[in-house]
């Protein structure tokens, strides 16, 4: 839960394909395949060389396993089923669901991210802002992920950025991570304040009269009194008292 992402051992590394526009299609098309490998009995220099050799990678896979550690014995105060008990609303229902959410309920900085998702919402910091503000208002993580997905799957000039990537998976993965950290009490949002936002260059609204701190306190209070995700989806469609 402390890492922003995980990758499947021996799978292709596709990050360069996301940057065809800046690196050039010819360069990307001529780039040798790169694989995700464990650093098994080798130095970093050796690993960087081996991961670009398909035959060497195949040979390594025969002798170097990469199992995910068994964490079933760890007692966690949540389950993924409790965070995501159902599927998000399908795209055909978005005009009646996520598109009707009154964004005026959100802080201006969160609203700005949703209005400029390319590329603010692609950033983990942007998704975390949307997650924390929405959760503090009682939104369910399932519908926070659904809202983010509904932005990812609209035309905001993404270009080829989703080539090889699934928007729904990205939205759900990060929301699951943020929700898990919050519920497991590994994240108390100590940096969820306007001063930190300005230091991190994630304050997008000049002369904003609002403050992130009341939203952080609301979220912590909801967690303390087990009132997280207490607001039904239909309650998101009209303005209510924020906190």
Smallest Cα–Cα separation from 178: which of 203, 148, 153? 148
Report yes or no on 124 lying in a domain.
yes
Looking at the fold, whether 100 and 177 belong to one and the same domain comes out as yes
Residues 52 and 128 in one domain: no
Q: Nearest Cα to 1, choosing from 85, 84, 71? A: 71
DSSP string, 101-154: S-GGGS-HHHHHHHHSHHHHTTSHHHHHHHHHHHHHTT--HHHHHHHHHHHHTS
Quick one: CA torsion of 84, 10, 127, 238, rounded to 10 degrees? -30
Q: Are residues 167 and 112 in the same domain?
A: yes
Distance CA 103, CA 111 (A): 6
Domain identity same for 44 and 134: no
Q: How far apart are CA 145 and CA 105, in angstroms?
A: 17
- 46, 126: one domain: no
Residue 211 lies in a domain: yes
Q: Same domain for 154 and 226?
A: yes
Task: Give the whole-angstrom CA distance, residue 216 versus residue 188.
Answer: 8
Q: Looking at the structure, do residues 118 and 228 belong to the same domain, yes or no?
A: yes
26 occurs within a structural domain: yes
241 confidence band (pLDDT: 50, 70, 90): very low
Cis amide prior to 119 (ω within 30 degrees): yes
CB atoms within 10 A of CB 165: 12
Total number of domains constituting the chain: 2
Contact 112, 204 (CB under 8 A): yes
99 vs 66, residue with greater confidence:
99
Note whether 35 and 91 are same-domain residues.
Answer: no
Residues 31 and 109 in one domain: no
Task: Please indicate, yes or no, whether residues 102 and 219 belong to a single structural domain of this protein.
Answer: yes
pLDDT per residue as tens digits for the range 23-81: 888 888 888 899 999 989 999 999 999 999 999 999 999 999 887 666 555 554 555 45
70 inside domain = no
108 & 49 share domain: no
Instruction: Give the span between the Cα atoms of 77 and 183, in whole angstroms.
Output: 7
243 compared with 127, residue with greater pLDDT: 127
Q: Is 90 exceeded by the pLDDT of residue 2?
A: no
Q: Is residue 224 a part of any domain in this protein?
A: yes
Evaluate the CA torsion angle 56, 62, 66, 68 in order and state its sign: positive
pTM: 0.70
Tell me: do 130 and 40 sit in the same domain: no
Whether 243 maps to a domain, the answer reads no
What range does the domain containing 51 cover?
15-63
Indicate whether 195 belongs to any domain.
yes
**Residue 118 to residue 112: CA distance in whole angstroms:** 11
Among 4-13, 198-207, 214-223, whose mean pLDDT is lowest?
A: 4-13
> Which residues, other chains included, contact 112 with Cβ-Cβ below 8 Å and sequence gap of 6+?
120, 204, 205
């Amino acid at each position: 839960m402390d890492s922003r992402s995980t990758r499947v051992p021996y799978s292709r590394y596709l990050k360069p394909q996301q940057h065809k526009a800046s690196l050039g299609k010819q360069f990307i098309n001529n780039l040798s395949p790169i694989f995700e490998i464990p650093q098994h009995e080798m130095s970093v220099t050796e690993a960087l060389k081996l991961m670009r050799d398909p035959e060497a990678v195949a040979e390594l896979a025969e002798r170097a396993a990469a199992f995910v550690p068994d964490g079933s014995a760890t007692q966690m105060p949540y389950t993924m089923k409790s965070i995501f008990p159902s599927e998000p609303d399908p795209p055909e229902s978005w005009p009646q669901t996520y598109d009707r959410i009154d964004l005026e309920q959100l802080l201006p900085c969160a609203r700005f991210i949703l209005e400029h998702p390319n590329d603010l919402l692609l950033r983990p910091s942007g998704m975390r802002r949307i997650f924390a503000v929405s959760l503090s208002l009682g939104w369910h993580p399932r519908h926070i992920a659904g809202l983010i997905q509904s932005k990812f799957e609209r035309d905001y000039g993404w270009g080829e950025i989703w080539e090889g990537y699934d928007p729904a998976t990205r939205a759900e993965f990060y929301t699951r991570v943020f929700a898990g950290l919050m519920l497991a009490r590994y994240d108390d949002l100590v940096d969820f304040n306007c001063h930190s936002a300005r230091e991190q260059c994630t304050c997008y609204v000049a002369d904003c009269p609002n403050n992130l701190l009341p939203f952080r306190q609301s979220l912590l209070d909801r967690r303390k009194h087990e009132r997280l995700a207490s607001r039904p989806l239909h309650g998101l469609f009209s303005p209510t008292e924020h906190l």
